[in-house]
Chain A
């Protein structure tokens, strides 16, 4: 558990981060979202003390971060940034091994860990281990950057706009990969982005920052359904709100008995996908399957009613 307690950072007269208090659960993804200048990056960088707080403190599992030397603290916390920050003169393997080497791991252990991580990120260790960053595609560089941050099994992973430099398709894949790997490893992740879409897609909890203040800290569905301020509403985008909400709800919530024509959809698909299928093929209901077995249908009517609940 990470407790952020009244954390404040002042540069001259400006309050970059203004008395932010929040608690992050172990094993969850928390996304900090805001416009540029909202203080989100400063907040993140105060957690591993790349910036020293003006006042307030951060406790990781009850232990205040200022009780430890900064470089030792940082070795326990993974750090991945926009533009990956790989060392251009080191091979992929050596890049991933950076923190384990700092921690003095034995060579065979490091080697095994590098191969394990490359495999986890769907990169063949034999093919990629000895390459240099310049020989990789943007998506591959980004994956190596995240793998490097995870190498020493840190108790917390901080990510600053990790997907910012990727094109939309690669970006969506990278987000899915991150979600999958996080569930697999059970890591605690704090991620900074300016993209609300990304925040809703990835976050178990979303923290919205504006002008150095934490304006709302809640689950994605609540952020969409009940924006705390106009600013949060703007960030969500009022026009897209119903669609964003539907994209968070699985079909399984609205399954009913009855006939439906056409191609079936899995029960864990989102209502947004079912709505799109209805509109696209002119149907009023879609059949739903669970592990290939027909379990019922979801109607256009039901989706509309579900969206109206929040209006």
Chain B
């Protein structure tokens, strides 16, 4: 085994970690805000709002992320009002296209997780809250949201891991994240096994860190389950 080459590869690929993390965290935060909006619409009393949220989730969960990236990166240039709009300087860049696609994609999955977590809050706890005079935001802030956070955290952690892996698709539209750098290095050196293995180990390490953090946070939020 060529240790010095592996070490050099590791150093080259680690340079892509900041971009990968940037894509993942930006998309996770924007995606969460969008997801909360979509989940709210799903529970709305206004039927078209519910239809919209269902269509949104179906659209982004039912098509491959790669297709969504291509529609945004290649397809949006064809829409003339987008080309003349204020958003065009951003949408003309692969980076922002990737962020947009990843955020929209993860928000559809996130909306389902949030909806499920809120539905999992026991009815009796909400009733108890109402019985002592809580309503509206107070009820949500004190009873529904804290409980929903506990129910949804594990699932949202899984989604964060899936999102981190999904950022690797941004390399297809020329972004130099860990996968992009690995691909470029392979086309220079033809040593695919070593390079892609090192890249895979970097992703494994990152997913391990996320999983551990989520697990610790879960333990923190559920003192009763601690052993």
A and B bound?
no
Residues of A in contact with B (beta carbons under 8 Å apart): none
Residues of B in contact with A (beta carbons under 8 Å apart): none
